[in-house]
Amino acid sequence: MSKQLVVLDTSTGACCEPLTQAALDISQAETLAPMFKALGDPIRLRLLSMITSAEGGEACVCDMTPQFDVSGPTISHHLKVLREAGLIEGDRRGTWVWYRPLPQAMRALAAVLNTPVGAGV
Amino acid sequence: MSKQLVVLDTSTGACCEPLTQAALDISQAETLAPMFKALGDPIRLRLLSMITSAEGGEACVCDMTPQFDVSGPTISHHLKVLREAGLIEGDRRGTWVWYRPLPQAMRALAAVLNTPVGAGV
DNA sequence: CCCTTGTCTAGATGATTTTCGAATCAGCGC
DNA sequence: GCGCTGATTCGAAAATCATCTAGACAAGGG
């Protein structure tokens, strides 16, 4: 897990400095693609958005589930996909489970998208 | 097409100013998710990366195809997915077809990922 | 100890996706 | 016009995915 997060070395946290001008290599692409894929569903995108924008930086499953038209198990499945993609982590606190984002992962994805057009000149 | 790109109003081009502290609403999520989904495949991620990092800001299909282990039609299919997601556009120039990125789309996606954790406080 | 509430796992099903070969379309040069 | 190269579209097979119901597990309250 830590491996996939240092691929682009986003540890400096600078969001506007593109970290690579060169095209992604195969292993970088294979590391990052599953993360983008996890965001490729409207429900999961809303879940992540709810989690990142929640006060305190974390959100309870019990608060998120009622906001969707799908069943509880389906929400649980989507949270698992986000978790296995390395985008969020969660823990049970008594009866409820709380999730929070993993910022390094978000930065790694943002770094790809912040690459300026024509960087290879 | 233009509709989906103004959802987050990235026209200012500021990449470090998150444009929304609130959670995405349903229609925003349904607009953005297909774009992330298009990036959720290693081949497509590499294709987009080659296009954005190419000198001159555009890349020829003829130069990209040989860099993959899959058939020409498969590359063509993946380029179509990226095109229909609004991430790239292409045009034929004589014998060859050239693709370039659509920066507004990239910014719209980056804006989601640049949202600071706990923005909803 | 049982009952209730919250969350997750398991298994099934219908829909979508990835990939290929074959065929088709677009330009260019002879 | 004919043939050649580059790119796309078409049709089909295999794999993956989203969703559901039913059931299991966890924690807390009578």
Question: With bands split at pLDDT 50, 70 and 90, how would you rate the model's confidence at A29?
Answer: very high
Residue A15 domain-assigned (yes or no): no
Question: With bands split at pLDDT 50, 70 and 90, how would you rate the model's confidence at A120?
Answer: confident
C-alpha span between B107 and A114 (Å, rounded): 7
Residue A14 domain-assigned (yes or no): no
Cβ within 8 Å of B, A 79-118: 100-101, 103, 106-107, 109-110, 112-118
- With a 7 Å cutoff on the CB, does A40 touch strand D? yes
Q: What is the pLDDT along chain B (121 residues), one digit of tens a residue?
A: 333 333 444 444 444 455 447 889 999 999 999 999 999 999 999 999 999 999 999 999 999 999 999 999 999 999 999 999 999 999 999 999 999 999 999 999 999 998 777 777 7
**pLDDT score of B41:** 98
Cα B120–chain centre separation: 27
**pLDDT score of A74:** 98
Residue B41 domain-assigned (yes or no): yes
- With a 7 Å cutoff on the CB, does B62 touch strand D? yes
Checking A2-9 for CB contacts under 8 A at 24+ apart, the result is: A3/A31, A4/A31, A4/A86, A4/A108, A5/A86, A5/A102, A5/A104, A5/A105, A5/A108, A7/A31, A7/A32, A7/A108, A8/A32, A8/A108, A8/A111, A8/A112
Pick among B10, B45, B60 to test the A interface (most A CBs inside 10 A): B45
Pick among B16, B36, B51, B84 to test the A interface (most A CBs inside 10 A): B36
Residue A121 domain-assigned (yes or no): no
* CA dist B19 → B12, B16, B27, B105, B112 (Å): 10, 9, 16, 14, 8
Domains contained in chain A, number: 1
Residue A11 domain-assigned (yes or no): no
Minimum mean pLDDT among A27-36, A41-50, A101-110, B18-27: which range?
B18-27
Domain assignment of residue B62, given as a range: 26-113
Cβ separation A121–B56 shorter than 8 A: yes
Residue B121 domain-assigned (yes or no): no
Residue B46 domain-assigned (yes or no): yes
Residue B19 domain-assigned (yes or no): no
User: What CATH number does residue A34 fall under?
Assistant: 1.10.10.10
Q: At residue B12, what is the residue type?
A: T
